[in-house]
């Protein structure tokens, strides 16, 4: 694997491909040969998977919230306000999204590593996507859940168990 010290022009890449064609087993691959062709597919998959992941997370948070009725009753009994309920739901959704992200990143990288091991192309780790999945998605989930969280009616939480 040889790399050029500076970016090559289109004519420079053509000359390098002509030289490599004279030697069996040698070839020239420019970054433009394999990166942009998947940019639209990657953007489409990300645009579709993000709302689906957030919807799954919303269902999980709703299930956790419905199962935590006693905890909410205790919060109301000790005088916690509506903001405490929103913060609790935001923390729950952040934690669930973070756990999902930590599991999703290695799962997403596994096909990349397996596929790259079967070809001669170098592995390009999608660091921007990993940062988005690990940091932005959990924060977005916490923000959305705190905004859309409904404050439970006080009377429904103060009934005896």
Q: What is the pLDDT of residues 31-64, one digit of tens each?
A: 665 555 566 766 777 777 778 777 887 788 778 7
- Interaxial angle between packed helices 137-148 and 82-117, expressed in degrees from 0 to 180 and rounded to the nearest 10: 150
The pLDDT of residue 138: 92
DSSP 22: T
Residues in Cβ contact with 83 at an 8 Å cutoff, skipping those fewer than 6 apart: none
Q: Quick check: 112 pLDDT over 80?
A: no
Is 148 in contact with 89 (CB distance < 8 Å)? no
**Span of 7-11, 35-39, 64-68 with lowest mean pLDDT:** 35-39
Q: Quick check: 71 pLDDT over 60?
A: yes
SS3 128: helix
Backbone φ and ψ for 80, nearest 5 degrees, come out as: -70, 140
SS (H, E, C) the chain: CCCCCCCCCHHHHHHHHHHHHCCCCCCCCCHHHHCHHHHHHHHHHHHHHHHHHHHHHHHHHHHHHHHCHHHHHHHHHCCCCHHHHHHHHHHHHHHHHHHHHHHHHHHHHHHHHHHHHCCCCCCCCCHHHHHHHHHHHHHHHHHHHHHHCCCCCHHHHCCCC
DSSP state letters, 53-68: HHHHHHHHHHHHHHHT
The pLDDT of residue 69: 74
Give the residue-averaged pLDDT of 80-105: 86
- Structural tokens at position 145: 């859940």
Q: Quick check: 1 pLDDT over 60?
A: no
CA 6 to chain centre: 32
SS3 51: helix
């Amino acid at each position: 694997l040889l790399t050029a010290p500076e970016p090559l022009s289109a004519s420079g890449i053509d000359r390098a491909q002509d030289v490599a064609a004279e030697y069996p087993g040698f070839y020239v691959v420019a970054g433009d040969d394999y990166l942009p062709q998947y940019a639209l597919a990657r953007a489409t998959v990300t645009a579709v998977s993000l709302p689906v992941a957030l919807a799954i997370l919303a269902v999980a948070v709703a299930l956790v919230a419905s199962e935590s009725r006693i905890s909410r009753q205790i919060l109301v009994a000790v005088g916690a306000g509506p903001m405490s309920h929103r913060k609790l739901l935001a923390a729950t959704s952040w934690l669930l999204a973070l756990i999902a992200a930590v599991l999703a990143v290695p799962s997403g990288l596994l096909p990349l590593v397996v596929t790259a091991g079967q070809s001669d192309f170098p592995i390009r780790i999608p660091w921007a996507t990993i940062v988005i999945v690990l940091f932005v998605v959990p924060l977005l989930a916490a923000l959305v859940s705190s905004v859309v969280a409904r404050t439970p009616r006080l009377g429904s939480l103060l009934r005896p168990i």
